[in-house]
Every structure is written in structure tokens, then in C-alpha cells.
Amino acid sequence: MTGEYRSALVGTGCQLPGRVFTNDEFVATIDTSDEWIRTRTGIRERRFALPSETASSLGIEAARKALENCQLTGNDLDLIICATVTPDMMTPATACLLQSALKCRHIPSFDLTAACTGFLYGMSVADQFIRTGTCRNVLVVGTEILSRAIDFSDRNSCILFGDGAGAVILQATKEPNRGIRSVNLFADGERQRFIQVPGMATITQPGEQPIKYLQMNGREVFKFAVQRMVELIHHANEEAAKLGTHISMLIPHQVNQRIIDAALESTGFPADRVMVNLDRYGNTSAASVPIALDEAIREGRAKKGDTVLLVAFGGGLTWGSSVVTL
């Protein structure tokens, strides 16, 4: 391929696990209630993976839906990027499992880890491959099985998370006002202890308790998320104006209704132009934004020609945004 290419979003898909886990089901193991969870988070229920479901199995189904949505097959793909913090295995990469299941050619396939911002990092990497002319069709998947990484005795964190997968197909286009218009990515490793998920190779320092499950400093994460979301919205509005467009819809990381409300109050962004589904799915980390994006498109809330703002923030600490014209 030659010439000036951009990355158009031509297909989306998502897959949610079969088990619905309501707030009331936590009452048997921790001191909480449906009202306590709803008023503090906005979450009513979430999906947990069945024993047979994995990050790869959910990702495969989301990818198949995204391919079908744009009438492509695995054979049309040139690259697969999978964002996850809960892979099936340390190796092979979950992306390689997707490559096999989708019957792709021997295309490059790799995982990317940036926690809840992982999907936006993945979209940015895919965009570079397309803009340089290396790839024409790229699959980007965010998939998580967080239910296997949380401490169900910690009422401050276990109530927040759920499982799921979302996928998009990015395709090379020469249309000047379509596709990914801008990307902004950040990280602050100085505050990495605010959110941590251990792995098989995680070591314990002398005098410290071993980390067995996801650990999170909720108070600090809340302040960080509101601050960064406000900054990203302001910056995106300025970018959109320079591009001669406006933000039709905000699709944020689905983490906590209070965080979203605080950011909207500070920025003045209209609540009726925000896609929220955290009440049904909770925080699905890297899968959060693509699931919400897919639902917004399927429900007709985001249509072809609309410019949407994708925003995420999470462990690392990482945060980022992308302005995309559908």
C-alpha cells in the first residue's frame, strides 16, 4: 500500500459471559447490600465467566462478531493486537490463540498490557501499522476475566469488576475526515502501587505480605480518574474544534458512576451524550471501552459520521483518549 492512509473503524463486536452476578449475591460473603453498592458505584450487576470461559474464548467470539459486522474473515486480517491483564497463559499470547481460532494467515499477533487503558493503547499501535502502509486490516481486542483475579472478601474492590470482551476492526482508508483523528496516551509509573494484579513471577519483598489478588487504593484511584478524565475531555474538545468537528458522544471507561458524574460536572459535557453500561457489566478493564462502543453503535446512539471520544484510565498508572469519526 502507498499513499496517505488513515485508520477507519469498520466493525465492532462484543461477548459477555453467561453468568449474571447481582449485587445481592455478594451479601452471603461480605458485609454489603445492593443499595450500598449501587449508591457508591452505579453498578447493579456484572457478568462472571463460566468455568469453560476464558479471555481467549470471549475474545474469539467478540472478534467473530466484529469481522461479520464488516463482512471480513480471519484470512483478511494482517495483524491482531489483544489488550488484557488476565491472559489464558503467560505464553502463548492470547492474540495467538485468536489467530488460530479465526483461521488467519501466519500474521503477527501479540498481547499488550496497559490495564484499563490497554484497548486505547492497542488502537494506537494498530493505527501506526496502518498509517505506515504495513497493514490494511487490523483486529484489536480487549478481553478480561477479572473474576479470577479479585479477592471476594474485599468488599471495596470485588464489587467493581466483571468479565467480558470487545473487539474492533480498523481498516486503511484515504477518506480525510474518517477514522482515528487523534490519540493521546500517558503513563505514571511512580504511582504503580495504586492498582496491582500479581502474576506467577511476582516476588515479595522482605517484610511484605505476598500479593495474591488484585490490590487497589480506591480513594487515590478515584481522585486520579476524575482529574485525568476532566483533562482528557477538555483537550479532546479543543482538538475536535481544530479538526472542524465536535464530540457527538463520550464513551468512557466504565469504572464508577461517581467518577463519570464528577467529570461531567466539572467539564459541562452533557450527560445525555455519554454512553454508560457499567450498571450491567461493572468494570471490565481493557474490554470496557470496546464493549460500550459496540453497544452504542448497535443501539444507534453512535452513527456513521459521528465523532466520538474514547477515554480510559487504569493501572500503571495509565490513561488516554482517542477521537474517532465513525
Q: Would you name the residues annotated as active-site residues?
A: 116, 253, 283
* Angle of the 118-131 helix axis to the 288-298 helix axis, nearest 10: 70
Distance CA 201, CA 219 (A): 28
State the Cα torsion 217-82-131-317 to the nearest 10°.
10
- Reading the block at residue 145, the C-alpha cell is 476475566
Q: What are phi and psi of 324, to 5 degrees?
A: -130, 130
Burial status of residue 2 (CB atoms within 10 A of its CB: 0-12, 13-18, 19 or more) = exposed
Distance CA 133, CA 3 (A): 8
CA 300-304-308 angle, to 5 degrees, is: 80
CA nearest neighbour of 147 among 258, 17, 49, 55:
49
Question: What region does 133 belong to: left with phi over 0, alpha with psi -120 to 50, or beta?
Answer: left
Please enumerate in sequence order all residues whose Cβ is within 8 A of that of 239, keeping only pairs 6 or more positions apart, or say none.
181, 182, 323
Burial 129-139 (b: 16+ CB within 10 A, else e): bbbeeebbbbb
- CA–CA distances in Å: residue 130 to residues 9, 125, 170, 172: 12, 9, 8, 6
Distance CA 193, CA 14 (A): 30
- Relative to beta strand 109-112, strand 79-83 is parallel
